[in-house]
Chains A and B, each alone.
Chain A
Amino acid sequence: MKNRIQLSLFLLPGLLLYVALFVFPTLTGLFYSFTDWDGVSPSYAFVGLDNYKDSLSSIVFRKAFGNNVEFMLTVVIAQTFISLVLALLLVRNTKTRIALRALYFLPAILSSVSVGLIWAFMYDPSIGLINYGLNEAGMGSIAHNWIGDPKIAIYSIAAVQVWAHAGQMMIVFIAGLQGIPAELYEAARMDGGSKWQVFRTVTWPLLAPSATIVVAYTTIQSFKAFDLIFTMTDGGPNYATEILTTYIYHTAFGSYSFGLASAGSMIFLVLLALLTLLQFKALRADRVSY
């Protein structure tokens, strides 16, 4: 009994924080999603499911959802691939591996707002470092209006997201690679397997749990991205990079439609929860024993 009380006391601070910072705001948001509250007035009216209907039929909301999916898929595919390649290169026992690992991990510790502001400046078509560098290197034909062209703006931001987080995911892959028993590699080599065959039949299947973690984390992180897009394009040009989080922000604080923004947030929460559930299922399915 005493133990239970002590355990409860240990859990209490965390529980209080969770209730104060997640449960309470979520329930408040849910409540306001059924109202026409403007975020300022002391009074509001209940509008039933109108905000949900309006959100789901909104042209901008749908565009934002499409952009969200596009951004997420780009980031997940690119980040998983790049972080895996980096991990395979840096898992070896070379002298420079620690320095290189730190170098690739470094962007993960920077504030995403700073990253966004710096990259927006680097992407500038007139005075940005990227086009300048490309022109100086004789590759002017590749120079582009990176975040000003609606066709590619979302991919330009996705590239920054990958740059910022690939090092972090590389560490997860390295941990996974280091956990694979050396005997399995020896056996595979003794059987005459080529490098590609060893990777395909030994490394990749045993790396599946790490890959699942990387994919799950990246999916959720990229789906709820905000800071980078807010600082680099604020959803523009012409909604080309508007995603659900920026849509919710603009609806709440741009047009003082807190009820509508709350409904958008609830839909977003459900989408994110579904994604997470799917990821957990996949995580269980991919468990490997050896």
Chain B
Amino acid sequence: MRKKQKYILPLVSMLVMSILLSACGGGDNAASGGGDSSGSGKVTISFMHWRGEDVEALNKTIDAFEKENPNIHVEMQTLPSDQYQSTVQSKISDGSVGDVFASFPGAQFEAFTKAGLFTDLTGSSFLSAYNPKLIEAGQHDGKQNAIPYQLVYNDPIYNVKLFEKYGLTPPTDWEGFLALCQTLKDNGIIPIAFAGADIGPGQFMNTMVMNNAPSDDIFTKVEAGEAKLTDEFWVKTLTQIKELNDKGYFQQDALGTKDPAAGALFIQEKAAMLASGSYQLAQNKLQNPNLEQKLLAPITVSADQAKYEGVHTTTFMLAVNSKSKHPEEAKKFIEFLSNPEVAGEYANQTGQNVTVNDVKYDTPELQVAGDWASKKTVFQPRFTILNGDNQKAVTNSIQAVLSGTSPEEAAQQAQAIIDQHIGK
């Protein structure tokens, strides 16, 4: 009996180990795509993305899709966006999950393209459902690798009632913008709530640079070593951001303020503008139903020099995994999502605008962004910086000027970091 007991512990340990190891290795099985349900002829495809907040709306979409396509079952798997950024490539690279997956534009899209993870969707009939200009971010070398599904305007939001109260209208030049901020400040209102600690620099830089930049591909040139951050366009942008800060047009200590705190200042109507984007409209309204909001982009030049009225980003780029065992079924699912009615339901339930044409938006917040479709906007300049370290160097130069560094020095410091990357 004792002899037997001697073996019990090691055996139990090994059993526990086996269970642990099999648990570690089997994480993806639950959502494993590529499998057919035994004998039923039903194909299961996996849909991977980072928008956990859209799950409820997408579940309804999936139910409708499965009713229309009884032989296809869609399993949805979501990861938080930071985890998605760091782990999705290893999950989808063998095609066992993520027959349909979403990609961020910019660095992730480039990396996935280089890795050959995208199925070329060029020529697919469902592409005609989209605004061709708004799906350009999913193209590479003339191929449509992914379809940006969501449309965001990365322009500051303003409080319409507060503007009306002080007789203000969105200005068309830099002097007008400064005067507007001064009026708000004189009346005890924070002109701009700015989340300087996290999203603020990355969002606000877009509208600030859009008219200062000599060309739309200026950051591509910077990354190629053909232009520098120390050139006039970026030093001027930093100087203007510093001017806004020095004149007290951001809330005090903006560099220590995170997104929720900046949002709170706007929602509580202590601030007249919020330097974020249209994606925040629905959330703001939810927290303060009295809010009336619109979008406004600071024009940093004189009215006659302005090329753009604002900035847009197309993201949540839907793609078919090149390793998928069921590419046709995956395409069918994207085709379903491209239907204006389906896209409209998704938009109205999630509060996000979409790139699909002829979508009817239910809420004033979605219509606000919808109205911007007719305006002259440029794709978010920050996302034209493809290297994450370079992006960080650029946005950090904004933080540098807010903490007292001169625009010239901040630009120089950021350029030095980019120069190191160019050499690699």
Contacts and interface: CB of A to CB of B under 8 A. Distances in A.
Contacts of A57: 420
Contacts of B258: 120-121, 124
B378 interface: no
A124 to B, nearest CB: 5
Contacts, number: 140
Which of A17, A40, A149 is most buried by chain B, counting CB atoms within 10 A of its CB?
A40
A238 B261 contact: no
Contacts of A6: 6-7, 10
A190 interface: no
B342 to A, nearest CB: 30
Contacts of A126: 251-253, 257, 261, 265
Interface in A98-144: 120-121, 123-128
B115 A237 contact: no
| Interface size band for B | 35 or more
Given A59-B417, A150-B403, A125 B252 contact: yes
B261 A255 contact: no
Contact of B196 (A9, A13, A148, A252): A148
Contacts of B417: 59-60
A238 B396 contact: yes
Contacts of B112: 40
18 contacts: A9-B10, A10-B9, A39-B89, A42-B116, A59-B420, A124-B261, A148-B196, A148-B257, A149-B403, A150-B399, A233-B197, A236-B396, A237-B403, A253-B388, A254-B389, A255-B388, A256-B107, A256-B388
Interface in B373-406: 387-392, 396-397, 399-400, 402-403, 405
B255 interface: yes
B37 interface: no
Contacts of A256: 107-108, 110-111, 388
A148 B253 contact: yes
A145 B256 contact: yes
Interface of B: 6-7, 9-10, 13-14, 16-17, 21, 85-86, 89, 93, 107-108, 110-112, 114-117, 196-198, 251-258, 260-261, 264-265, 387-392, 396-397, 399-400, 402-403, 405, 416-417, 420, 424
Given A148-B255, A255-B107, A237 B389 contact: no
A251 interface: yes
Nearest to B110: A256
A252 B196 CA distance: 24
B253 A238 contact: no
B114 A40 contact: yes
B10 A12 contact: yes
B107 A237 contact: no
A194 interface: no
A39 B47 CA distance: 21
Contacts of B115: 38, 40-42
Q: Which 5 A-B pairs have the closest CB atoms?
A: A148-B256, A254-B388, A255-B388, A125-B253, A148-B255
